Chains A and B, each alone.
Chain A
């Protein structure tokens, strides 16, 4: 029986320092401070399209003067073609909401596997706008919807129709014309299961179909606003400046729904984290960087400073963190001068020195260090997928299982879950459109239907029952304690995949879902985190990214922490 590989990246091919320990990295506070890196899924998607010299066509544009109708965008990757079918529909303002439980939207989308026929478009016109209530087939890979940023959309349309560019300050402040409120894939609501496309290498990366969809949605929003503007006043219309187009991404309201994923896919999360930490370890091992990479690093530090100046949010907690980060970054600018960068192993020294600053600053430095080193680390993105499921080892002895818990689970076992503050929250799925929610155990009903995110508490229970058991195999132990199968599997999984667990109590007062969301969104490549509470955030996807006709641009991969000046 072959054990699964412990390190999906294989033995080190490049010099690297010791990886940061999971006990340091896999804590909610640090995960909630992550920034997007060049290893993010959006960045690698665009690099793929550019490398394969893809072109995007728009074979259908049936949009009326008011901006309602449908359109199709199509691109080929490998032997396959994929088409975004977009529908723009009228929406009563009173029905506009970002919540998953909404029932109507400004626009709806499907990523179609192939090129849709007129019959397909007709079918989708009657189903895509209904979203979860519609009927779909295995030719639909992704289902999504988006609402307008009413203020900015109208402002841009009005400005262009009157012959001038929109206000840059407003564009910088909002950053998108539309925001998606859900992007469904992998078999949800009858669309294609992920397995349908799993054997297509160009779609194997995590969330590749979903993120391709969002990039095409961005193109639609840009075309739509310019179409509306032109139809209003064709004699005076001017197209939107490309620099502004590039700076406009797609907004997204991300809520709790994303958080349980980090717990239910432990091996996948391990692979993401392990690839990122390995990349950092490689960069830190560079003893004598080239003059070019040093210059690039200096330029990126300055770009980060501008990005931080643009990053303003209404949430007081986050704004305080940004304020601290801005002042710390001023110190970074001062510290990391030519003399500093001329010393041996400057990147390793930079990480060590960053310990004096906040977690936000530390993780911004991590993202910064990765950015100029594509040749060294981009290949690691191929290690970020996973097809392996956690697997119980029934032959393991209970003594060995207890040892594993003692070695690596004190963060879970030392907590008193009988205290209210350590068990106040419970995760569940609501009957409202199966929306994941977080309840208060001692105030609301439903805790008996709690989802399995209380991993820490379950492992403590397991440890307690193991201590009273005569040594035997895990298989025999489960004969008397079948309810511990999940906890046994998690403990054994962590032993092989050290970054698999969030090492915090996810049902205690200290668990802020926003930390889980930001961590995952950073791997997507999202920027401009704009938390609106501790349970949801606005973000922007593809801000600064190349437009659909710019895949051959020499700067196609240079859009980390975008600023309007650099767009």
Chain B
């Protein structure tokens, strides 16, 4: 995952955790090694296209396996670009459409529509300190640890450079 996209996903997760949407974090943890990277890429691109061409109508995505994280991403984009989105899902869950809320285009999907008014209420609402249980923290830390380089005597001695004894 591109580092900038990773930052945007992390900001979305911070929003989700502080607005009582723990499911987004669980989706992230359980799908980090499977569908999540490509799905978030597609979501980001769809949101980018909506921002770039707000009158172009709905942008379709294949079925989204991380709907809570999708909501959080929409909020992150909404905050960033001061616009808002609607999205709908078909009854079979096999198509999701992201629509800029000003767009007059007809939605190509059936199914319940999640009004972006719910999202726009969430945007700008101050969050609360999330209460994340220790098991989830451990899973997050385990994922983070995969970005760390194993240490060695050489890296410990020369990688950062400080001496090991007080010379004052």
User: Provided the pairs A98-B166, A394-B52 are in contact, do residues A486 and B4 lie with their beta carbons within 8 angstroms?
Assistant: yes
Which listed residue (B4, B81, B151, B162) contacts A430, Cβ 8 A?
B151
Question: For the complex, is A47 an interface residue (Cβ under 8 Å from B)?
Answer: no
Q: Are A473 and B149 in contact (CB under 8 A)?
A: no
- List residues of B whose CB falls within 8 A of some A CB: 2-5, 7, 11, 41, 44-45, 48-49, 51-53, 80-83, 129, 145, 147-152, 154-156, 159-166, 168
List residues of chain A with CB within 8 A of the CB of B49.
394, 475-476, 479
Q: Are B148 and A430 in contact (CB under 8 A)?
A: yes
Number of chain A residues whose Cβ lies closer than 8 Å to a Cβ of chain B = 63
Interface positions, chain A 402-460, Cβ under 8 Å from B, are 428-432, 434-439, 444-446, 449, 452
Question: For the complex, is A471 an interface residue (Cβ under 8 Å from B)?
Answer: no
Q: Are A255 and B149 in contact (CB under 8 A)?
A: no
User: Provided the pairs A149-B168, A432-B151, A439-B149 are in contact, do residues A255 and B48 lie with their beta carbons within 8 angstroms?
Assistant: no
Q: Are A1 and B82 in contact (CB under 8 A)?
A: yes
List residues of chain A with CB within 8 A of the CB of B166.
93, 96-98, 147-150
List residues of chain B with CB within 8 A of the CB of A96.
165-166
Q: Which residue of A lies closest to B45 (CB)?
A: A479
Interface positions, chain A 97-144, Cβ under 8 Å from B, are 97-101, 138
Q: Are B156 and A432 in contact (CB under 8 A)?
A: yes
Please, how many angstroms separate the alpha-carbon atoms of A237 and B5 in the complex?
62
Supply 10 further A-B pairs (C-beta < 8 A) apart from A438-B159, A475-B45, A532-B162.
Answer: A2-B82, A96-B166, A99-B164, A389-B80, A429-B147, A435-B159, A438-B160, A444-B155, A445-B150, A478-B45
Q: Which residue of B lies closest to A480 (CB)?
A: B45
Question: For the complex, is A303 an interface residue (Cβ under 8 Å from B)?
Answer: no
Which listed residue (B129, B148, B162, B163) contacts A449, Cβ 8 A?
B148
Please, how many angstroms separate the alpha-carbon atoms of A1 and B102 in the complex?
13
List residues of chain B with CB within 8 A of the CB of A484.
2
Q: Are B51 and A395 in contact (CB under 8 A)?
A: yes
User: Provided the pairs A97-B164, A98-B163, A484-B2 are in contact, do residues A475 and B148 lie with their beta carbons within 8 angstroms?
Assistant: no
B154 smallest CB distance to A (angstroms): 7
A517 smallest CB distance to B (angstroms): 11
Q: Are B168 and A174 in contact (CB under 8 A)?
A: yes
Q: Are A434 and B41 in contact (CB under 8 A)?
A: no
Q: Are B162 and A99 in contact (CB under 8 A)?
A: yes
Question: For the complex, is A489 an interface residue (Cβ under 8 Å from B)?
Answer: yes
List residues of chain B with CB within 8 A of the CB of A42.
none
Chain A CB within 10 Å — which of B7, B147, B155, B162 has the most?
B162
Q: Are A430 and B155 in contact (CB under 8 A)?
A: yes
List residues of chain B with CB within 8 A of the CB of A452.
3
Please, how many angstroms separate the alpha-carbon atoms of A444 and B150 in the complex?
11
Question: For the complex, is A216 an interface residue (Cβ under 8 Å from B)?
Answer: no
Chain A 180-211, CB within 8 Å of chain B: the 1/0 string? 00000000000000001000000000000000
Question: For the complex, is A505 an interface residue (Cβ under 8 Å from B)?
Answer: no
Question: For the complex, is A35 an interface residue (Cβ under 8 Å from B)?
Answer: no
The 3 lowest CB-CB distance pairs between A and B, nearest first, are A437-B159, A535-B161, A446-B149
